[in-house]
Amino acid sequence: QVQLVESGGGLVQPGGSLRLSCAASGSIFSIDAMDWYRQAPGKERELVATITSGGSTDYADSVKGRFTISRDNAKNTVWLQMNSLKPEDTAVYYCNANVRRFKYWQYERYWGQGTQVTVSS
């Protein structure tokens, strides 16, 4: 079994910053890409940022220049640094990891429990 534990969400004023973290633990042989998704009220879940095991990153257009995704492979941890936050960034943020539990096994997607980010004055 694999578990992803998120932290770092909260209430912040527009223009403020938050740093989300997500640590994977359990039966892990290797982890490929790690991602951050978010889901705002009344909207579908969307991909915010992704990072490969080699460190290549990609971002949604709405967060480019403001958010930074990073990871530590030795710690099985991914972070999302969020700067210049806007009210439209308000959502539940979920981390995702593509995990190979054992050698030769398929990669499977595991999700964190979600952490609330609220941007409001």
Q: Identify the pLDDT of residue 97.
A: 97
* The one-letter amino acid at 61: D
What is the mean predicted confidence (pLDDT) over 25-30? Answer: 96
Which candidate, 120, 109, 112, places its Cα nearest to that of 93?
112
Q: Identify the pLDDT of residue 43.
A: 96
Q: Identify the pLDDT of residue 40.
A: 97
pLDDT over 90 for what percent of the chain?
A: 99
Residue 14 tokens read as 């527009």
Q: Identify the pLDDT of residue 59.
A: 98
Q: Identify the pLDDT of residue 34.
A: 97
Length of the chain: 121
Q: Identify the pLDDT of residue 86.
A: 98
